[in-house]
Amino acid sequence: MAKKKGRLDFVNMKKNGEQVTWVTAYDFPMASFVEAAGIDMILVGDSLGMITLGYDSTIPVTMEDCISHCKAVRRGAPNTFVMGDMPFGSYQKSDEQAVENAVRFFKEANVDAIKLEGGVRVESRIKAMADAGMLVCGHIGLTPQSSGPLGGFKAQGLDPESARYVIEDALAVERAGAYALLVEAIPPELTQFIAKKLSIPVYSIGGGGPCDGQLLICGDMIGMFQAFTPKFVKVYANVAETITNAFKEFAGDVRTGKFPGEEHFYRVRKGMEEEYAAMLKEYE
């Protein structure tokens, strides 16, 4: 079993130009598959609202949802670096609220780090959480919790003016004391620039590369989330089709009497068949 990686491993990986592999997971079985595959980090993203709870955005996701899913993931992947995602409403009010909720992730779900969305506007939040001794990852570019103000799930930093905002956000995240940064849906030129400019590891989801590692959402990459697939996703499996076909086959087997078969029965204890039949007869 590979040793669980920590912050210093990720710093060294950046120094050595080694790519970090990172996926989301939300429950025990998925987390155990991720760990078995030797992936470096797991994000228990608030994308769980869309991928597993059926919401059409991440906004309704609560602290309780996130903590409960983080706990399941931790049980499934005890030897993998797990990051919890601060849901909308858990850090918007004040630095104190942010610290209080971040602490819950570490105490109740035993995560290794937490992530929150935003750059300049959450600088004091990141600083407060980092000063309280927690590993914080920033998340800039397309930030799904603000997809309303951003005009939808849209790529960011595509022109010089908006790229400037992304750079300012990146600088703010590092200045505030985050240990890592995630950039989402920005052009590769900008991702590469930020990864070189910052001394902390810079990871990408939909930001191309090169940078220090890549994240994908499990529901997208294994073909489980059906509503839409972002342009930046590479689909490695069609789990939805596999599962639907399994259910269809089961339904067919039951309807035609093919299931259950001999091999699925429990047998009456050997030598007791006659006695058993007689007992049943008593109840006829």
* Residues of the shown chain interacting with ligand KIV in the complex, contacts defined by CB under 6 A: 24, 43, 45-47, 85, 139, 144, 182, 184, 205, 217
CB of 87 to ligand KIV, least distance (A): 9
Check if 263 is active-site.
no
- Residue closer to ligand KIV by CB (options 191, 265) is 191
Indicate the length of the chain as a whole number: 284
- Residue closer to ligand KIV by CB (options 58, 172) is 58
230 three-state secondary structure:
coil
- Residue closer to ligand KIV by CB (options 111, 205) is 205
Q: What is the per-residue DSSP string for 155-224?
A: ----SHHHHHHHHHHHHHHHHHT-SEEEEES--HHHHHHHHHH-SS-EEEESS-SSSSEEEE-HHHHTT-
- Residue closer to ligand KIV by CB (options 45, 118) is 45
Instruction: Tell me how far apart the alpha carbons of residues 18 and 25 are, in angstroms, rounded to a whole number.
Output: 23
CA 29 to chain centre: 13
Say which of 184, 189, 273, 275 is annotated catalytic: 184
CB of 195 to ligand KIV, least distance (A): 16
CB of 61 to ligand KIV, least distance (A): 9
Q: Taking CB positions, which residue lies at the least distance from ligand KIV?
A: 45
CB of 142 to ligand KIV, least distance (A): 8
| Residues assigned a catalytic role | 184
